[in-house]
Structure 1
Amino acid sequence: MTGQRSDARRNYRRILIVAEAEVAAHGADASLEQIARTAGVGSATVRRHFPTRQALLEAVFQERIENLCERAHRLTGTGDSRAALLDWLHALVEYAVSARGLADALAYEPPTDEPAPHSCGNALEEAATPLLRQAIRDGAVRPDVTFHDLLTLSVGIALATEHHVRPMAQADRLFRLSVEGLSPAQGATPT
């Protein structure tokens, strides 16, 4: 944003504030035209600042993504690598459930050889891959599990529970089920 005229910076901030509210209300499919109208700018101004819907969504979720990345960095190298990875994955699921549209934004990012440098998925992958690698080295996670497997699982849980009466409770249940598996624990009685 440096080097831009002050009115361009104001427009950017206003568009982003409106976009955050619209995405919270309508998810990733929030109307770009409605965002422009509410922000008091033209559609061309929105597209100049955010050339794609994905660019707008990444800007809306930037702070949440940064928080998840910081959490991954804090957890890397802690004692129990499985617990650290699961803690981070659970936080990802919680963020994706609580921030309407985040799961959609992450779902738009299939694995590629050349990810966009500022993409949400790329930032998360860079931050969380050390957690996954350590868990694999410790034998706590199968060696064929990839970051994209974990991202797909997390996004899938968030999308599947988005319209549930109690989305966070259902997401927690599905997360535990995916981690613990379908088989009952030794000596546990089915409920």
Structure 2
Amino acid sequence: MVNYSLLTAYLLAIVLFLGTPGPVTILVISASVKSGFRAGLATIAGTNIASLILIALSFIIIQGVFAVSETAMLWLTFFGTLYLFYFSISIIRDKIDLQQTLQQNSKRVSKNHFKDGFLIGISNPKDILFFIAFFPIFLAVTSDTYVSMITLTLVWIVLDYSILSIYAFIFSKVSNNRAANIISKLSGIILLLITIYVFYETSKRLFF
């Protein structure tokens, strides 16, 4: 049985997370500007493989916690929401200068775009903290934990490719600071609202 309301919240949260300009997005845009849209797609493939490795590691950690007790899992979700609070607020507060960031990152673009994408994706230790904080919130999307993991991962793959491809295409044509900052701040606000809701539901199960 699929929890469609939770799945919808997951879809929205992923769209907001991936839609917020960050190191991966900037690298994809830089590759597209410098070497064309196909270079951007190759970079996306590399970042996606890196994400899948980090997701697999986070699932191993989550399964280890879940094997201990359901309460331990709730505590992991609780502390995960605290990290997402920080993450959301930092998105809202940050100001993006696409031109300056693209210029700074242009040297990171080589002829091997897949490798560039993989290295930038795998070298950020904060990503695995995000995945560990993020996925426990949505594991109840089905009644089977393993089915939930597969579902969440497949959705991530599809949205990761789709959203980053759209970003590569749009911002390789028009590097608009105002648009990027509006997207970023709106994403941060909505992600913060989702986090508040999950924090409330988790706290209710832990403390009441």
TM > 0.5 = no
For normalisation by structure 2, the TM-score amounts to 0.31
Larger Rg over CA atoms: 1
Structure with higher RCO (Cα < 8 A, 6+ apart): 2
Larger relative helix fraction: 2
